[in-house]
Structure 1
């Protein structure tokens, strides 16, 4: 069986990866199995350079705040600001501290400064403005959207009205609301009115698109749409934080995945005439099958409960079909965390190469039994599910990290 497994693999190169993808791919999801391990974003950088230089990719989207990413994109496309500023203000989740992310932004700037605007590679974040400790205030997105529309249209609501309804930002970002829904302002009468206003402004943005895109730039209109999605998404998320039912955590996960999917679909539409896009995030956000998570200790009364939700990748795949491809990454040994020999990662660890691209279809035909699920020592690592590899277009396996 070892020989048959080896026949399903190749050394990692950009060419060996793209050979497994549908030729219709417009969005390639490249997942990582855990956060904070530099080998995976370093691998992403290597593959993305190939995709840009040989496959016509013209954009990359990462699991980071979609609004903050506008700062990084301005730097890589137009040279606005500095590299340090792009890293400190252009990322969320602490991702600006990653050496691999810094190298990505540096390379993008160097690549773009030699090219005309229509050939420059864009940088996106596709996550909502949310963190594990809470969510941002909707003020920046909502007021920027209002100001953009007010410069072209007569609006029913003034900026002063918005400020009065929003109140102090500290009420929205109160970390206590993360665990105590009664501390959230997401379902106050003011928040409910703000949701209606955000919806109205989003409709106006679409209804007046012919005028707005000729009176200003199409890029300004697109960024206003990004802020409209962020404002509405944040207001829904804050309402979810105020939910007192047992389904609260699952609801918040669904809302975040929906924000991610909406942003991915919007940027694919924007990039449709320029080239495909690489999306980089955790495997769980990009996979095509239903996500499941057994909550570990530390989640109080929820510990031991299994949550299920549809990922951004599965939502996007439902819309794009074979224009969306998903590549999962996995690893074998990390310190004392060694996979069982009969697990999928254990079987792949017998391969001679340190890094391999695996064809899931050929791998399935090479196996004479279904591998045992891996139970990792570290709950931050989500192992491959042998039952769902048929929904993965390619697997990149790193034997040791």
Structure 2
């Protein structure tokens, strides 16, 4: 069996990843089972450099705030700003503190130095302005969209004045109230003002589409793209806040689905300009239905961004999952032999790339009647093991044997 598994194994590099795919994908998704592990971030960085230097990729998208990420994109393309400040404010979830993310942004800036705009690498945040326990105020996205349109279309076409938006939004801390994630009654998402804002956001987004010829002529490509980003984010945030105020059992499933729909929209928008590498949690990028147990909720299921994008792009979307052997400083010790991770751990390689569909077929053929690989159980909530049932739906699998303490 070990020798047969060896036949599915390749080196971890961009050429080997692309060789496993039918065609060069428009979106190449690299999942991770835990956030912030330095070895995983360095593997991501190396793959992106190879994709840029040898295969024509120009954009990387991370699971971070799409609006804040504009600071990072401005920095890597123009050098504008201070690196420490850009990392602190441009990467949400405090991920600017991860050394691997600093290394990525510094390399992107150095790569772009002196290059024409068409040959520069770009950074994008794929996520909405969302945290696990709160969501941002819609002010930034709505105001930016309103300002863009007000500068380019007749005033009588605007659905409201800027001060009306400001009045309806009110204090930002009412929107970002952390208690609202656990208690729908603390959310302002279904207030009369929030309902009116949803209609105004829809009218502004519609104005963007119905006046596209005029707006394209009066905008740079970057201004046009960012206007659509503001529209997607404003409508998505208001939708998210609306369902935060929902008291029904479907509430969390709706919120998880809305977040991933926002990620999918951002990825599809980036892919219109060329091939993209996106790095995010496996649960956001897998083709199969995503699952989670959260707080006192039973098992939650929803369609993640990868499933949504794959349904649209088919073979132009590729998913490379990542699994690991040990994360000892978090109590994740050697995997059990009867798991996918256990089988790969036994190969005694620091890192390897696996032809996931081929391995899944091999394991299915070799399994005794009625037997199947077990799903690994993690003692730490921050690491999500690979579900063997999802293996065949991945295009490839990166396995990292041991992740040391940072």
Partner of residue 224, structure 1: 227
CA distance in 1, matches of 2:189, 2:361: 51
Residues 194-241 of structure 1: CA deviation (Å, up to 9, x unaligned): 000000000111111111111121210110110111111110111111
The correspondence of residues 40-51 of structure 1 with structure 2, limited to 5 A, is: 40-51=40-51
Bigger mean CA offset, 332-341 vs 252-261: 332-341
Partner of residue 83, structure 1: 83
For structure 1, list consecutive stretches of 5 or more residues without a partner in the other structure: none
For residue 21 of structure 2, give the secondary structure of its aligned residue in structure 1: coil
Partner of residue 317, structure 2: 324
User: Is residue 136 of structure 2 the alignment partner of residue 140 of structure 1?
Assistant: no
Partner of residue 288, structure 1: 287
CA distance in 2, matches of 1:338, 1:364: 21
Q: Do 1:184 and 1:242's aligned partners in 2 also have CA atoms closer than 8 Å? A: yes
Q: Do 1:61 and 1:123's aligned partners in 2 also have CA atoms closer than 8 Å? A: yes
Q: How far off its partner does 1:314 sit? A: 0.3
Q: Do 1:22 and 1:325's aligned partners in 2 also have CA atoms closer than 8 Å? A: no
User: Is residue 380 of structure 2 the alignment partner of residue 378 of structure 1?
Assistant: yes
Partner of residue 12, structure 2: 12
Residues 275-297 of structure 1: CA deviation (Å, up to 9, x unaligned): 311000000000011011233xx
For structure 2, list consecutive stretches of 5 or more residues without a partner in the other structure: none
Residues 12-52 of structure 1: CA deviation (Å, up to 9, x unaligned): 22222221123141100000111121111111001110000
Residues 88-140 of structure 1: CA deviation (Å, up to 9, x unaligned): 11110111111100110000000011311111011000100010120000011
Q: Do 2:27 and 2:277's aligned partners in 1 also have CA atoms closer than 8 Å? A: yes
Partner of residue 345, structure 2: 349
Give the total of aligned pairs.
391
Q: Do 2:322 and 2:399's aligned partners in 1 also have CA atoms closer than 8 Å? A: yes
Q: Normalised by the size of structure 1, how large is the TM-score? A: 0.95
Q: Residue 336 of structure 2 is aligned with which of 337, 340, 345?
A: 340
For residue 358 of structure 2, give the secondary structure of its aligned residue in structure 1: helix
Q: Do 1:339 and 1:376's aligned partners in 2 also have CA atoms closer than 8 Å? A: no
CA distance in 1, matches of 2:252, 2:47: 35
Residues 289-320 of structure 1: CA deviation (Å, up to 9, x unaligned): 1011233xxx13x2xx1100000000000001
Q: Normalised by the size of structure 2, how large is the TM-score? A: 0.94
Runs of 4 or more off by more than 4 Å in structure 1? none
Q: Do 1:22 and 1:322's aligned partners in 2 also have CA atoms closer than 8 Å? A: yes
CA distance in 1, matches of 2:71, 2:293: 36
Tell me the C-alpha RMSD between the 2 structures.
1.1
User: Is residue 247 of structure 2 the alignment partner of residue 244 of structure 1?
Assistant: yes
